[in-house]
Amino acid sequence: MNRASFDKFCEQLPATTHVIQWGNASVWKVGGKIFAISSNWGEDDTECVSFKCSDLSYQILTEQDGIYPAPYLARAKWVQVRGDKALSDQDVKNYITEAHKIIASKLTKKVRTELGLS
């Protein structure tokens, strides 16, 4: 999934905000908390997508080629998908949707209500 597709998809999820951080990373948040990031990584400047996932998904995904524990975020069960061959765009969208749900579920009930996520 390229960055333009990533941004277009994340924009459609409920109650999201977007910022450019850490140089030129496209960072998507819900309730002020990050759920997905698109950035470039490594010497070859490969496009990458990082997202929060469940413990089980983290274990399964990090065993696949092209998917790594996300730098600086792996301890919180984030993965980084490098390039466009590791997962289909639809699979990435499904995982990003789930990441959004995981992060939104950790918001307080008051914040979820204010954002229309209840």
Half-sphere exposure of 33 (CA within 13 A, CB side): 16
Instruction: Give the tokens for residue 95.
Output: 């995982």
Q: Count of residues for the chain?
A: 118
CA-closest candidate to residue 38, choices 11, 14, 76: 11
Domains delineated in the chain: 3-108 (3.90.1150.30)
**Per-residue pLDDT tens over the stretch 106-115:** 999 999 999 9
Are 24 and 40 in contact by the 8 Å Cβ rule? The answer is yes
Residue 85 has pLDDT above 90, yes or no: no
CA-closest candidate to residue 30, choices 110, 117, 118, 94: 117
Query: What pLDDT was estimated at residue 44?
Result: 63
Predicted confidence band of residue 12 (pLDDT cuts 50, 70, 90): very high
**Per-residue pLDDT tens over the stretch 16-73:** 999 999 888 999 999 999 999 999 866 666 789 999 999 999 999 999 999 999 999 9
Query: What pLDDT was estimated at residue 42?
Result: 60
Angle at 100 between CA 6 and CA 58, to 5 degrees: 90
pTM of the model: 0.92
Residues near 54 by Cβ (< 8 Å), separated by ≥ 6?
A: 77, 98, 102
